[in-house]
Amino acid sequence: MLPILAWRNIWRNPTRSLVVILAISMGIWAALFMSGFATGMIRDYIDSNISNVVGHIQIHHPDYAREKDVRLQVDPLPGLEAFLASQAPVRAYSARTLATGMVSTANGSRGILIQGVRPDQEAVVSNLRQNIREGTYFEEGRKNQILLGQPLAEKLHVKLRSKVVLTFQDLEGNITNGAFRIVGLFNSGNTPFDESRVLVQASDLGGLLHPADQTGTPDPVHEIVLLCRDPDSLVAVQKSLQTAFPRLLIENYRELAPELELYESQMKSVSLIYLTIIMLALIFGIINTMMMAVLERFRELGMLMAIGMNKGRIFSMIVMETVLLSLAGAPLGLLLGGLTIHYFNVNGLDLSAFAKSLNQYGMGTDIRFDADPGVYWQTAMMLVVTAFLASLYPAWKAIRLKPVEAIRKL
């Protein structure tokens, strides 16, 4: 009967209780909204980095990261490619030829990373093809095509079909250059990435890297990027690769870009942070309501004590009332929050008005809300804890009363 009594007590003052229930619902909705937004944004950042920049795993010569020397190639390449092709957890891989150099136009020049790719492989591993905003992806049979990021093109004052010159060192250390025509301009939504590299076909770049008398030898490969079918299998794939090719440096994206790991860990705690802030605000509202409920029932509580309801039961009743009152707001808040997250997960939240600044930080403008299913449980549990904490003071006040003072006279 105690839960029934507690539940009915909540509805003695329906308006007051409904206000609190609505406040709790809105609080939960806001917490889930913020959590879904932040999780979506972080996941977008991580996914965009994985699909545009680092992939799941990268393979390099152990000294390449430090030296950036074009002679430090992935070796043995044929054996490695055969191994990757045989690994079921590996969804796709792309072999890249890299050179650091300079891109020059009639208007100026900039230091860049030249990324030579095998177009078919790269199209699967990265979002490059989808990110083409003007022009086309690499077309078969045409030589010396180049793709530039839109932000870089703007800085170099070039446009589609403009000609640019790439200058870099070949495998023997001689300065070499080649003229390329812009066939496509891409925009990945990550301005630093778009400004810092150009993409050409590996065959073109390989041809330029080899001295004139060595043409016909295989294109050098400095980096292999691979995607796993299931990100959870990443560590296992990394281990088996490392065992098979102990002389190569095999790193996952968390090792390559530690900030992504930081963001991943933040994703788990971000909802907790938002929830904590909102619950802190709610706790005072709940305390206030329950204090009013207790104070206006002082006489009745005194009567309950007089007829034999002990302090433990009075305390439990007030705690139960507070928890039930708070939980009454949970279903609506969780439902609204879940629907909002689902809506923006399907339709996305368009932040293109802030594209320039967001892209500067590698953030996308179409935020797809996301939430781990555990967030809903976490929210409900946090609410129970909040309600319990909020009930302690009113319950303590209730048991402190002396029945004779509460009912004044018998």
Q: Which residue has the tokens 């979002």?
A: 127
Contacts of 339 (CB under 8 A, 6+ apart): none
Residue 394 CB, nearest approach to another protein (Å): 17
> Which CB sits closer to another protein, 126 or 289?
289
DSSP 8-class letter at 70: T
> Which CB sits closer to another protein, 199 or 304?
304
Residue 365 CB neighbour total at 10 angstroms:
18
For the chain, the straight-line distance linking the first and the last C-alpha, in angstroms and rounded, comes to 25
Residue 20 CB, nearest approach to another protein (Å): 18
Residue 329 CB, nearest approach to another protein (Å): 20
Residue 11 CB, nearest approach to another protein (Å): 8
Could you give phi then psi for residue 149, rounded to 5 degrees? -70, 145
> Which CB sits closer to another protein, 309 or 355?
309
Whole-angstrom Cα distance, residue 179 to residue 104? 9
- For 396, the enclosing helix (H) or strand (E) is helix 374-400
Residues 291-310 vs another protein: string with x where CB under 8 A? --------xx--xxxxxxxx
Residue 302 CB, nearest approach to another protein (Å): 9
Q: According to the binding rule CB under 8 A, does residue 5 interact with another protein?
A: yes
Of 375, 284, 300, 392, which is closest to residue 333 (Cα–Cα)? 375
- Number of residues counted as binding another protein (CB under 8 A): 25
Choice from 110, 181, 229, 311 touching another protein (CB under 8 A): 311
> Which CB sits closer to another protein, 161 or 408?
408
> Which CB sits closer to another protein, 12 or 268?
12
- C-alpha to C-alpha distances, 22 to 13, 108, 270, nearest whole angstrom: 14, 61, 24
Q: According to the binding rule CB under 8 A, does residue 410 interact with another protein?
A: yes
Could you give phi then psi for residue 57, rounded to 5 degrees? -140, 145
Residue 109 CB neighbour total at 10 angstroms:
14
CB 314 within 8 A of CB 403: no
> Which CB sits closer to another protein, 303 or 351?
303
Residue 142: both structure tokens together: 């045409």
Residue 46 CB, nearest approach to another protein (Å): 53
Residue 34: both structure tokens together: 């913020």
Pairing of strands 108-117, 197-201: parallel
Q: According to the binding rule CB under 8 A, does residue 403 interact with another protein?
A: yes
> Which CB sits closer to another protein, 20 or 275?
20
Which residues within the stretch 322-351 sit at the binding site for another protein (CB under 8 A)? none
Reduced to 3 states (helix: H, G, I; strand: E, B; else coil), residue 53 is helix
> Which CB sits closer to another protein, 159 or 299?
299
C-alpha triplet 156, 194, 80: angle, nearest 5°: 125
CB-neighbour burial class of residue 349 (10 A; exposed 0-12, middle 13-18, buried 19+): middle
Of 116, 73, 97, which is closest to residue 247 (Cα–Cα)? 73
**Among 62-70, 95-103, 330-338, 400-408, the segment contacting another protein (CB under 8 A):** 400-408
Choice from 313, 315, 380, 393 touching another protein (CB under 8 A): 313
Q: According to the binding rule CB under 8 A, does residue 9 interact with another protein?
A: yes
Angle of helix 258-295 relative to helix 298-306, nearest 10 degrees, comes to 80
> Which CB sits closer to another protein, 2 or 82?
2
Choice from 11, 354, 377, 396 touching another protein (CB under 8 A): 11
Q: According to the binding rule CB under 8 A, does residue 12 interact with another protein?
A: yes
Q: According to the binding rule CB under 8 A, does residue 8 interact with another protein?
A: yes
CB 198 within 8 A of CB 115: yes
Residue 29 CB, nearest approach to another protein (Å): 30
Whole-angstrom Cα distance, residue 166 to residue 168? 7
> Which CB sits closer to another protein, 265 or 310?
310
Residue 12 CB, nearest approach to another protein (Å): 6
Residue 351 CB, nearest approach to another protein (Å): 50
Binding site for another protein (CB under 8 A): 1-2, 4-5, 8-9, 11-12, 299-300, 303-311, 313, 403-404, 407, 409-410
